[in-house]
Chain A
Amino acid sequence: MALIEDNRDVSSGSGKTSVGALLEMPFAYLGRRVIHWINTLGSAAIFLVTAVLKTFSARQIPKVVQQIYYIGAMSTTIIMLVSLFTGMVLGLQSYHALVKFGSQGAVGTLVSLSLIRELGPVLTAIMITARAGSAMAAEIGIQRITEQVDALKTMRIDPFSYIISPRITAAVISFPLLTTVFDMIGMIGGYISSVVLMGLNAGVFIHSIQAYVDMKDLTDGFVKSIVFAVIVATVCCYQGYYVHRRQDSKGAKAVGLATTSAVVVSCVLILIADYVVTSLLIL
Chain B
Amino acid sequence: MPLIEFKNVTKRFGDQTVLDQVNLQIYEGQITTIIGLSGSGKSVLLKHIVGLLRPDEGTIFFRGRPLDKMKRAEVAEAMSQISYMFQNNALFSSMTVFDNIALPLVEKTKLKKSEIYQRVMARIEQTELTDAAFKYPSELSGGMQKRVALARALVTDPKVVLFDEPTTGQDPVRKNAILSMVAQYQKKFNFTAVLVSHEIPDVFFISNRILALYDKKVVFQGTPEELNEFDHPFNDEVIRSIESLQKELTGLYSQRQFKMLHHLQLKRRKGDENYCLIVFTLSGAEALVQKMGYDAAQAVTHAMGIYVDKHFGTIGGFSTRLKSNEIVTMLPYSNIQEAESVLQELIADFRQEGIKNIWLEAQHNSGLENCVDFAILAGIAEGQPASEIDAVMEEARSQQKEIGRMQCPVQE
Contact = CB atoms under 8 A, between A and B. Distances in A.
A155 B79 CA distance: 9
A146 B103 contact: no
Contact of B90 (A139, A148, A157, A162): A148
Interface string B9-51: 0000000000000000000000000000000000000010011
Contact of B50 (A143, A146, A154, A157): A154
B83 interface: yes
B50 to A, nearest CB: 5
B107 A59 contact: yes
B189 interface: no
A147 B88 CA distance: 8
Contact of A155 (B91, B93, B108): B108
B367 interface: no
A154 B52 contact: yes
A146 B88 contact: yes
A156 B90 contact: no
Residue picked from A143, A148, A155, most chain B C-beta under 10 Å: A155
Given A148-B92, A150-B90, A151-B90, A156 B83 contact: no
B107 A151 contact: no
Given A146-B90, A146-B93, A147-B90, A154 B107 contact: no
Contacts of B50: 154
B398 interface: no
A153 interface: yes
A154 B84 contact: yes
Which of A59, A146, A151 neighbours the largest number of chain B CB atoms within 10 Å of its CB? A151
A147 B86 contact: yes
Nearest to A59: B107
Interface residues of A, number: 15
A157 B107 contact: yes
Interface in A218-240: none
Interface residues of B, number: 22
A155 B84 CA distance: 8
Interface string A156-192: 1100001000000000000000000000000000000
A150 B108 contact: no
B76 interface: yes
A155 B52 contact: no
A257 to B, nearest CB: 21
A167 to B, nearest CB: 14
A162 B103 CA distance: 11
Q: Is the interface of A mostly helix, strand, loop or mixed?
A: helix
A117 B76 CA distance: 49
Interface in B80-96: 80, 82-84, 86, 88, 90-94
A157 B88 contact: no
Nearest to A155: B104
Nearest to B84: A154
Contacts of B47: 150
A217 to B, nearest CB: 40
Contacts of A59: 107
Interface string A85-114: 000000000000000000000000000000
Nearest to B47: A150
Contacts of A147: 86, 88, 90
B108 A156 contact: yes
Contacts of B103: 155, 157
B108 A153 contact: no
A202 B52 CA distance: 65
A147 B51 CA distance: 14
A162 B104 CA distance: 12
Contacts of B93: 142, 146, 148
B52 A153 contact: yes
A156 B88 contact: no
Nearest to A62: B106
B326 to A, nearest CB: 43
Contacts of A157: 103-104, 107-108
Of the candidates B47, B50, B86, the one having the most CB atoms from chain A within 10 angstroms of its own CB is B86
Interface string A185-213: 00000000000000000000000000000
A156 B86 contact: no
A55 to B, nearest CB: 16
A125 B10 CA distance: 47
Contact of A151 (B79, B86, B108, B156): B86
Interface in A108-148: 139, 142-143, 146-148
Nearest to B92: A148
Given A146-B88, A148-B92, A162-B107, A156 B79 contact: yes
Nearest to A149: B90
B205 to A, nearest CB: 27
Interface string B43-66: 000010011100000000000000
Contacts of A148: 90-93
Contacts of A154: 50-52, 82-84
A156 B79 CA distance: 8
Interface in B280-302: none
Interface string B155-170: 0100000000000000
Interface of A: 59, 139, 142-143, 146-148, 150-151, 153-157, 162
Interface of B: 47, 50-52, 76, 79-80, 82-84, 86, 88, 90-94, 103-104, 107-108, 156
13 contacts: A143-B92, A148-B90, A148-B92, A150-B47, A151-B90, A151-B92, A154-B82, A154-B83, A154-B84, A155-B83, A155-B104, A156-B79, A156-B108
Going nearest first, the 4 A-B pairs with the smallest beta carbon separation are A151-B90, A154-B84, A147-B90, A155-B104
Given A150-B90, A151-B86, A155-B107, 13 more contacts: A142-B93, A143-B92, A147-B88, A147-B90, A148-B91, A151-B84, A151-B92, A154-B83, A155-B156, A156-B79, A156-B80, A157-B104, A157-B108
